[in-house]
Amino acid sequence: MIKEYIQTNRQRFLDELFELLRIPSVSADSRHKADVRKAAEYLVQKLKAAGADKATLCETAGHPIVYAEKLVNPALPTVLVYGHYDVQPPDPLNLWTSPPFEPVVKDEKIYARGACDDKGQVYMHLKAFEAMMHLNLLTCNIKFMIEGEEEVGSDNLGTFVKENRAMLKADVILISDTSLISLSTPSITVGLRGLSYLEVEVTGPNRDLHSGVYGGAVANPINILSKMIASLHDENGRITIPGFYDKVAELTANEREALNRAPFQLDTYKKELAIAEIQGEKGYTTLERTGIRPTLDCNGIWGGYTGEGAKTVLPSKASAKISMRLVPNQSNHEITELFTKHFKSIAPNSVKVKVTALHGGEPAVTPTNSRAYAAASSAFEEVWGKTPIPTRDGGSIPIVSLFKKELGLDTVLMGFGLDSDAIHSPNEHYGIKNFMVGIETIVAFYKHFGKVVN
């Protein structure tokens, strides 16, 4: 019945998603402020049409939050669906094979910014809701909270959650904003890394200088910054900041073995990225390096002359953006402090260093022994014919730890993307198969979760 409904309405579902994907809701870019709002309004309209009792735009100090609910029966469990309708900037535009906000289907995949992260995945929940309303299958109360600032650090979500505790009361948070191992090996994400994101600025002389007149005698901030960044890893791929690993939760041999049982093909991995060799912290596998180990990466670096041709200049300043992915039990604020102290300490006297924390979030692990996890697992078994493997993802969704802290709620991370979907990159895409089977699995989750409680 549900399969038939999804198949019959397939084209309309896709048309509606395409309309959402055409709205360039880039939260980081103030020129798109009105578009971000437009995407929120579109979701409100579609939630109402699907049968929500209430669907509204909630104003915040930044972009609005979409809230909707359908309360069928107070005796039934309540699921709070979280997602985000904002997207990453599409740059660099010239690397897209079709324009980022003009969705197209190629090889059964939808190409557009936000196709997977997270509009396509959010839209599965709207259509699962619509299907359950239409077929009278809803066995849970549903609440939706879809924000427009996830890609810029969810600055206003914390306040919203604190101010609306009663409205957000639920039994579990359900999120589709992560990836599967593959379409033949379903998985449920049970861990996400945290994040500390900083900007550093190194200042040498009070102005740009002629690199012939002064070069060799005055410190060059770019040379120095590069050396400082390079020194943050040792020859074993370990981060050199004192105290950085002090609180890192070490997994038991059994846990590591379980994690490494997930299928991983090194050849395919390298081929897909066009790299000859992988790298990383000595003593850990690739799955461990991205799942349970903390990292430090330079995300951007600039300074001096970068225009056409040559300009012989010894720059006054050099800057970089640095992200650190954190694992349990590291904390964003502590790591930011350790970084700042260390980075300043390794700077030579010839330069001044400024460190600014931009944003961050705490790591999260979700339980595998909860009723909600069991319902998600049964949903996959029913629809995919396979038991999903619990996995640790390397990305961050900082609000997962916030929900636990503020609402006391655990999250089920039932994502349907693939690591190869190019999220945050040019040519982001999302498989139509993932979208369709995702809707079916979400509906099955409600069926099982509605059954298991009380």
- Residues ≥6 apart with Cβ < 8 Å to 223: none
Which partner in ligand BES, Mn ion, none is near 398 (CB below 5 to 8 A by kind)? Answer: ligand BES
Whether 86 is a known active-site residue: answer yes
Place of tokens 């190409």: 111
Select 217 or 273, whichever has its Cβ closest to ligand BES.
Answer: 273
Identify which of 278, 283, 309, 281 has the alpha carbon closest to the alpha carbon of residue 294: 281
Q: How far is CA 236 from the centre of its chain?
A: 28
**Cβ atoms of residues 368 and 190 within 8 Å:** yes
Among 16, 149, 150, 362, binds ligand BES (CB under 6 A): 150
Nearest to 443 by CA among 128, 215, 19: 128
- The residue among 48, 12, 18, 50 whose CA lies nearest residue 131 is 50
**438 phi and psi, to 5 degrees?**
-65, -45
Q: Is 398 in the site for ligand BES (CB under 6 A)?
A: yes
From Mn ion, ligand BES, none, interface partner of 80 (C-beta below 5 to 8 A by class): none
Judged by the rule CB under 5 A, the positions of this chain that interact with Mn ion are 117-118, 177
Of 76, 179, 119, 174, nearest to 379 by C-alpha is: 174
User: Using the rule CB under 6 A, is 179 a contact of ligand BES?
Assistant: yes
Contacting range for ligand BES; rule: CB under 6 A; set: 53-61, 134-142, 172-180, 253-261: 172-180
Q: Is 153 in the site for ligand BES (CB under 6 A)?
A: yes
Residue 290 binding: pick among Mn ion, ligand BES, none (C-beta 5-8 Å cut-off by kind): none
Q: Which of 149, 150, 362, 410 is catalytic?
A: 150
Contact indicator for 72, 138 with CB cutoff of 8 Å: yes
Answer for which of 224, 383, 397, 443 binds ligand BES (CB under 6 A) is: 397
- Residue of minimal CB distance from ligand BES? 395
371 binds, among ligand BES, Mn ion, none (CB under 5 to 8 A by kind): none
The count of residues interacting with ligand BES (CB under 6 A) is 17
One of 361, 363, 431, 450 touching ligand BES (CB under 6 A): 361
Would you say the C-alpha torsion 244, 246, 249, 253 has a positive or negative sign?
A: positive
Dihedrals φ, ψ of 8, to 5°?
-60, -35
- C-beta of 309: minimal distance to ligand BES in Å? 35
Question: Minimum distance from CB of 83 to Mn ion (Å)?
Answer: 8
Phi, psi of 359 (to 5 degrees): -165, 180
Nearer to ligand BES, 301 or 422 (CB): 422
Question: For this structure, is 382 an active site residue?
Answer: no
What is the DSSP pairing of strand 65-70 with strand 141-147? antiparallel
In the bound complex, what is the minimum distance in angstroms from residue 399's beta carbon to Mn ion?
Answer: 11
Interface of this chain with ligand BES, residues 92 to 131, rule: CB under 6 A: 117-118
Cα–Cα distance measured from residue 392 to residue 372, given in angstroms and rounded to the nearest whole number: 18
Q: Among 69, 86, 428, 440, which one carries the catalytic annotation? A: 86
Give which of ligand BES, Mn ion, none residue 377 binds (C-beta under 5 to 8 Å, depending on kind): none
When the beta carbons of 67 and 197 are compared against ligand BES, the nearer one is 197
In whole angstroms, give the CA distance from residue 150 to residue 447. 29
| Choice between 103 and 194, CB closer to ligand BES | 194
393 lies in the binding site for ligand BES (CB under 6 A): yes
DSSP 8-class letter at 205: S
Q: Which of residues 15-44 bind ligand BES (CB under 6 A)?
A: none
| Start-end of H helices in 148-285 | 157-163, 221-230, 253-259, 266-273
Min separation Cβ 79 and ligand BES, Å: 19
The Cα 345–Cα 401 span in angstroms is 32
* Nearest CA-CA partner of 163 in 67, 28, 42, 40: 67
Q: Which residues bind ligand BES (CB under 6 A)?
A: 117-118, 150-151, 153, 177-179, 192, 195, 359, 361, 393, 395-398
Annotated active-site positions, please?
A: 86, 150
